Every structure is written in structure tokens, then in C-alpha cells.
């Protein structure tokens, strides 16, 4: 069966510090991968999606970037965090069909 | 512009009540509409709808899509406290996904 892992679960970082969140998927090959952000009490905002290694599409201009160095690994990064980057970050994967399966999420607080 | 709108944004009911959650959308190259339940952390998948008029059902939950009027409803009958959650509607179109703001459902004992 397929599983999706995200780490860390929680993170507190100062403004201006770098960020690296990692997501890995097991039990499937060539998944579509997604990064979402959810602000408190809000819906999910799609940040990046990837249909293959090295292929990244960005939905929202921001100081975040994403990379997919391996088929089942998706990384969200920032060189310098802003206060507005605080939120709940979710990684998800999908296969042939549109239903997405989400990881447990990372709660990021930027102080 | 808002591509996916959900209503109501918040709803409080008592156990045993029936609720109807609404999702309307406006996108091009529509592929599918999906419903998710989010309790504390990750959303969990409920339904995917691609065709109008065909009801999807799972236990006390059911959903239907109207592609002409561009909306979907999610019904929950005989609600239980365990149904308390945020219900998210998402639309897949082109290469994109867009989520609505969610409906926060609280079921009181």
C-alpha cells in the first residue's frame, strides 16, 4: 500500500532563516506530487506541483521554491523565511486519477 | 477571483440532524470535483465526482454533481459527533487543483 511521509511535524523558525521541508512517498512510482499551504481557518492553497523528476510548476509567486530530486521525493525550501510563511504545509500525491492523498503535514511558525 | 465557493462556511447541528453542504465552482477544462474531510491534520478523501447526476454514496454520506449548474452537494444523514470536521471541496481542472475555503461542521451531542 502507498504511504506518504512528511517531516518535521512542527517547526519554529526565526524570520530570515532558511527552510527545508521534505516529503517522500512509498508504494507507488511516478506519482504527481503537490505542496499546499493552509493558513489558520482557511482552505488549501496550491503552491507547487510536479509531474516528474525535475519538473516543477509554481502556482503562486513567493519566496518559496520546490525541487524533486528523485521520483518519490519532494522538497519545499526557502532561503529567507517571512512572517507570512507561517502555516500548515501539506504534501500530497496522486496517481492516474485525481484523488490526492495527503501527508500528515508540517506546522510552521515563523517568529 | 474565487474559483470554488463553499457554503455555509460554518454549521452547528445536533446529533441525528441531516446536513447539506454546498460547493459551486467556475473553472475551464473541468476534470473532477472532490470532497475531503479534515479533522485535525491531513484531509482524507471522501468522493470524486466526474459525471452529472450520478450519486456517490458511502454509509451516511452521499454526494452528487451538477455540471450544468456547476455545483455539488455533500449530504450527511443522522449526523454523529465524529462527523465534526472541516469539509473541503476541490476542483481539478487542466493541470491544476483548487480548494474551496471549507465548511466547518460541528455536531453537538
Name every chain B residue with its beta carbon within 8 A of the beta carbon of A36.
Answer: 99
Which residues, at least 6 apart from B99, have a Cβ–Cβ distance to it below 8 Å?
A36, A43, A44, A45, A46, B4, B88, B89, B90
Contact at CB, A49 and B31, closer than 8 angstroms: no
Taken in order of first residue, the domains within chain B and their CATH numbers are 4-108 (2.60.40.10)
Torsions phi, psi of B93, nearest 5?
A: -145, 140
Q: What is the structure's pLDDT at B94?
A: 80
Name the average pLDDT for chain A.
91
Q: Which domain holds residue A91?
A: 3-110
In the predicted model, is pLDDT for residue B15 greater than 90? yes
pLDDT at B84: 97
What secondary structure letter does DSSP report for B40? S
- In this predicted structure, the answer to whether residue A110 has a pLDDT above a threshold of 70 is yes
Q: What is the nearest CA distance from B43 to chain A, expressed in angstroms?
A: 6
pLDDT tens per residue across span B75-88: 999 999 999 999 99
CA distance B90 to B83: 19
Largest CA distance in chain B: 43
User: Which residue's C-alpha cell is 472541516?
Assistant: B86
Interface residues on B facing A, Cβ-Cβ cutoff 8 A:
4, 6, 31-32, 34, 41-45, 48, 88, 90, 92, 95-102, 104
Q: What is the pLDDT of residues B37-57, one digit of tens each?
A: 999 888 999 999 998 888 999
Question: What phi and psi, each to the nearest 5 degrees, are found at residue A82?
Answer: -110, 160
Judged by CB atoms closer than 8 Å, whether chains meet at A100 and B45 is answered as yes
Determine contact, residues B3/B98, Cβ cutoff 8 Å.
yes
Amino acid at each position: 500500500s502507498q504511504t506518504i511521509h512528511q517531516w518535521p511535524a512542527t517547526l519554529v523558525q526565526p524570520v530570515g532563516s532558511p527552510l527545508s521541508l521534505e516529503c517522500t512517498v512509498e508504494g507507488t512510482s511516478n506519482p504527481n506530487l503537490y505542496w499546499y499551504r493552509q493558513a489558520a481557518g482557511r482552505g488549501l492553497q496550491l503552491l507547487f506541483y510536479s509531474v516528474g523528476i525535475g519538473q516543477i510548476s509554481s502556482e503562486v509567486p513567493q519566496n518559496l521554491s520546490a525541487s524533486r530530486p528523485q521520483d518519490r521525493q519532494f522538497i519545499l525550501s526557502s532561503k529567507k523565511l517571512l512572517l507570512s510563511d507561517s502555516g500548515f504545509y501539506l504534501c500530497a500525491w496522486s496517481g492516474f486519477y485525481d484523488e490526492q492523498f495527503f501527508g500528515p503535514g508540517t506546522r510552521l511558525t515563523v517568529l | 477571483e474565487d474559483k470554488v465557493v463553499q457554503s455555509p462556511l460554518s454549521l452547528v447541528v445536533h446529533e441525528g440532524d441531516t446536513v447539506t453542504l454546498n460547493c459551486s465552482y467556475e473553472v475551464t477544462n473541468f476534470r473532477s470535483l472532490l470532497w475531503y474531510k479534515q479533522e485535525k491534520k491531513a484531509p482524507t478523501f471522501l468522493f470524486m465526482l466526474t459525471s452529472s447526476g450520478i450519486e456517490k454514496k458511502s454509509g451516511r454520506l452521499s454526494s452528487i454533481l451538477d455540471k450544468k449548474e456547476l455545483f455539488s452537494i455533500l449530504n450527511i444523514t443522522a449526523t454523529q459527533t465524529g462527523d465534526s470536521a472541516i469539509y473541503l471541496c476541490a476542483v481539478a481542472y487542466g493541470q491544476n487543483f483548487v480548494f474551496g475555503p471549507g465548511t466547518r461542521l460541528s455536531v453537538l451531542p
